Amino acid sequence: MLSTSLSKMSLIVLSGQSYTGPLDMLLLMAIANRFIGFKFFFSTDIDDGSGFYATWFFQFVFAATAATIVSGAVAERTQFGAYLVYSTFITGFIYPVVTHWGWSKTGWLQNQIVSKILFVDFAGSAIVHCTGGIAAFVGALVIGPRIGRFEDGAHDPNPQPGHSTPFAALGAFILFLGFLAFNGGSEQAIVGGDHAVVVAAAFVNTMIGGASGSITAVVLNYCIAWMRGEQKYWSLLQMINGGLTGMVAMCAGCNVLHQGAALGIGAMSGGTLMWLSWATKRMKIDDPLDAFAVHFGGGLVGILSTPVFMNGGIVHWQNCDSQRANYICDLFEYKVFAWNLAGFITITIWSGCMSLIVFYCLKLVKMLRVSEDDEIRGLDIGKHGEPAYPIEAYGHGWSERKSF
Amino acid sequence: MLSTSLSKMSLIVLSGQSYTGPLDMLLLMAIANRFIGFKFFFSTDIDDGSGFYATWFFQFVFAATAATIVSGAVAERTQFGAYLVYSTFITGFIYPVVTHWGWSKTGWLQNQIVSKILFVDFAGSAIVHCTGGIAAFVGALVIGPRIGRFEDGAHDPNPQPGHSTPFAALGAFILFLGFLAFNGGSEQAIVGGDHAVVVAAAFVNTMIGGASGSITAVVLNYCIAWMRGEQKYWSLLQMINGGLTGMVAMCAGCNVLHQGAALGIGAMSGGTLMWLSWATKRMKIDDPLDAFAVHFGGGLVGILSTPVFMNGGIVHWQNCDSQRANYICDLFEYKVFAWNLAGFITITIWSGCMSLIVFYCLKLVKMLRVSEDDEIRGLDIGKHGEPAYPIEAYGHGWSERKSF
Amino acid sequence: MLSTSLSKMSLIVLSGQSYTGPLDMLLLMAIANRFIGFKFFFSTDIDDGSGFYATWFFQFVFAATAATIVSGAVAERTQFGAYLVYSTFITGFIYPVVTHWGWSKTGWLQNQIVSKILFVDFAGSAIVHCTGGIAAFVGALVIGPRIGRFEDGAHDPNPQPGHSTPFAALGAFILFLGFLAFNGGSEQAIVGGDHAVVVAAAFVNTMIGGASGSITAVVLNYCIAWMRGEQKYWSLLQMINGGLTGMVAMCAGCNVLHQGAALGIGAMSGGTLMWLSWATKRMKIDDPLDAFAVHFGGGLVGILSTPVFMNGGIVHWQNCDSQRANYICDLFEYKVFAWNLAGFITITIWSGCMSLIVFYCLKLVKMLRVSEDDEIRGLDIGKHGEPAYPIEAYGHGWSERKSF
- DSSP H/E element including B88: helix B80-89
Q: How close, in Å, is residue B389 to chain A by CA atoms?
A: 5
A398, part of any domain: no
User: What's A7's domain CATH number?
Assistant: 1.10.3430.10
* pLDDT value of residue C14: 36
Q: What is the number of structural domains in chain A?
A: 1
Q: Between residues C342 and C403, which one has the greater pLDDT?
A: C342
Cβ <8 Å between B214 and C12:
yes
* pLDDT value of residue C360: 97
CA angle B270, B276, B280 (to 5 degrees): 145
Cβ <8 Å between C191 and B196:
no
Chains with 3 or more CB pairs closer than 8 angstroms to B? A, C
Cβ <8 Å between C157 and B386:
no
Of C6, C13, C160, the CB nearest to B234: C6
**What are the two backbone dihedrals, phi and then psi, of residue C290, each rounded to the nearest 5 degrees?**
55, 40
Query: If you average pLDDT over residues C334-357, what whole number do you get?
Result: 95
Q: What is the pLDDT of residues B105-141, one digit of tens each?
A: 888 998 777 777 899 999 999 999 999 999 999 999 9
Q: Interhelix angle for C2-18 vs C80-89, to 10°?
A: 40
Tell me the residue length of chain A.
404
- Which of C259, C379, C398 would you mutate first to test chain A, the one with the most A CBs within 10 A? C259
C345, part of any domain: yes
CA distance A60 to A11: 10
Q: Between residues C113 and B123, which one has the greater pLDDT?
A: B123
Instruction: Please list every residue in chain B whose beta carbon sits closer than 8 Å to the beta carbon of residue C233.
Output: 401
CA distance B103 to B169: 33
Q: Going by C-beta distance under 8 Å and a sequence separation of 6 or more, which residues neighbour residue B327? A: none
CA distance A367 to A384: 16
Cβ <8 Å between C13 and B260:
no
Cβ <8 Å between B212 and C53:
no
Instruction: Please list every residue in chain A whose beta carbon sits closer than 8 Å to the beta carbon of residue B222.
Output: none
Query: If you average pLDDT over residues C221-230, what whole number do you get?
Result: 93
Q: How close, in Å, is residue C203 to chain A by CA atoms?
A: 7
Cβ–Cβ pairs < 8 A, chains B and C: 147
Of A207, A234, A239, the CB nearest to B383: A234
Cβ–Cβ pairs < 8 A, chains A and B: 144
- ipTM surpassing 0.90, yes or no? no
Instruction: Please list every residue in chain B whose beta carbon sits closer than 8 Å to the beta carbon of residue C12.
Output: 207, 210-211, 214
B379, part of any domain: yes
Q: What is the pLDDT of residues A263-274, one digit of tens each?
A: 999 999 999 999
Of C15, C160, C394, the CB nearest to B163: C394
Cβ <8 Å between B260 and C43:
yes
Cβ <8 Å between B212 and C16:
yes
* pLDDT value of residue B13: 36
Tell me the residue length of chain B.
404
Cβ–Cβ pairs < 8 A, chains A and C: 145
CB of B109 closer than 8 Å to CB of B46: no
Q: Going by C-beta distance under 8 Å and a sequence separation of 6 or more, which residues neighbour residue B79? A: B367, B368, B369, B370, B383
Distant-in-sequence contacts of B79-83, Cβ < 8 A, 24+ apart: B79/B367, B79/B368, B79/B369, B79/B370, B79/B383, B80/A234, B80/B3, B80/B6, B80/B10, B80/B379, B80/B383, B80/B384, B81/B367, B82/B362, B82/B367, B82/B368, B82/B369, B83/B3, B83/B6, B83/B7, B83/B10, B83/B11
Largest CA distance in chain C: 84
Rounded (to 5) percent helix, strand, coil in chain B: 65, 0, 35
Sign of CA dihedral B221, B223, B224, B228: positive
* pLDDT value of residue B328: 53
Closest CA to C98 of C141, C50, C62, C47: C62
Q: Between residues B148 and C302, which one has the greater pLDDT?
A: C302
Instruction: Please list every residue in chain B whose beta carbon sits closer than 8 Å to the beta carbon of residue C398.
Output: 381, 387, 391
Average pLDDT, whole number, for chain C?
85
CA distances from B342 to B35, B99, B115, B117, B338 (A): 15, 15, 15, 12, 6
* pLDDT value of residue A135: 97
Q: Interhelix angle for A259-282 vs A236-250, to 10°?
A: 120
Cβ <8 Å between A60 and C207:
yes
Question: Does C200 score more than 80 pLDDT?
Answer: yes
Q: Residues in chain A with pLDDT < 70?
A: 1-31, 47-50, 317-330, 394-404
Instruction: Please list every residue in chain B whose beta carbon sits closer than 8 Å to the beta carbon of residue A169.
Output: 2, 5
Chain centroid offset of residue B392 CA? 38
CB of C59 closer than 8 Å to CB of C97: no
Q: Residues in chain B with pLDDT < 70?
A: 1-31, 47-50, 317-330, 394-404
Cβ <8 Å between A53 and C197:
yes
Instruction: Please list every residue in chain C whose beta carbon sits closer than 8 Å to the beta carbon of residue A278.
Output: none
Q: How close, in Å, is residue A383 to chain C by CA atoms?
A: 6
* pLDDT value of residue B8: 38
Q: How close, in Å, is residue A65 to chain B by CA atoms?
A: 23
Of C10, C388, C398, the CB nearest to B387: C398
Cβ <8 Å between C231 and A156:
no
Cβ <8 Å between B159 and A258:
no
DSSP C186-239: GG---SSTTHHHHHHHHHHHHHHHHHHHHHHHHHHHHHHHHHTTPPP---HHHH
Of C160, C165, C402, the CB nearest to A380: C165
Cβ <8 Å between A390 and C201:
no
CB of A364 closer than 8 Å to CB of A139: no
- DSSP H/E element including B208: helix B195-227
Q: Provide the residue type at C158 as one letter.
A: N
Which residue range(s) make up the domain with A235? 2-392
Q: pLDDT band for C18, please (50, 70, 90 cuts).
A: very low
Q: Between residues A340 and C30, which one has the greater pLDDT?
A: A340
Q: How close, in Å, is residue B383 to chain C by CA atoms?
A: 12
CA distances from C242 to A17, B107, C211, C290 (A): 16, 56, 8, 11
Q: How close, in Å, is residue B163 to chain C by CA atoms?
A: 5
* pLDDT value of residue B89: 94
A403, part of any domain: no
CA distances from A323 to A118, A309, A319, A338, C235 (A): 21, 19, 7, 21, 65
CA distance C279 to C310: 29
- Which of A6, A11, A20, A53 would you mutate first to test chain C, the one with the most C CBs within 10 A? A53
Q: Between residues A23 and C39, which one has the greater pLDDT?
A: C39
Of A10, A385, A399, the CB nearest to C231: A385
Chains with 3 or more CB pairs closer than 8 angstroms to A? B, C
Closest CA to B346 of B139, B126, B141: B126
- Which of B3, B6, B9 would you mutate first to test chain A, the one with the most A CBs within 10 A? B9
Instruction: Please list every residue in chain B whose beta carbon sits closer than 8 Å to the beta carbon of residue A207.
Output: 12, 16, 57, 60
CA distance C215 to A80: 13
C157, part of any domain: no
- Minimum CA–CA partner of B388 in chain C: C397
If DSSP codes are grouped into helix, strand and coil, which group holds residue B128? helix
C33, part of any domain: yes
CB of C80 closer than 8 Å to CB of C8: no
C395, part of any domain: no
Bridge partners (DSSP) listed for residue B50: none
A400, part of any domain: no
* pLDDT value of residue B166: 93
* pLDDT value of residue B22: 39
Of C208, C234, C263, the CB nearest to A383: C234
If DSSP codes are grouped into helix, strand and coil, which group holds residue B94? helix
Largest CA distance in chain B: 84
Question: Does C193 score more than 70 pLDDT?
Answer: yes
Closest CA to C339 of C69, C121, C138, C92: C121
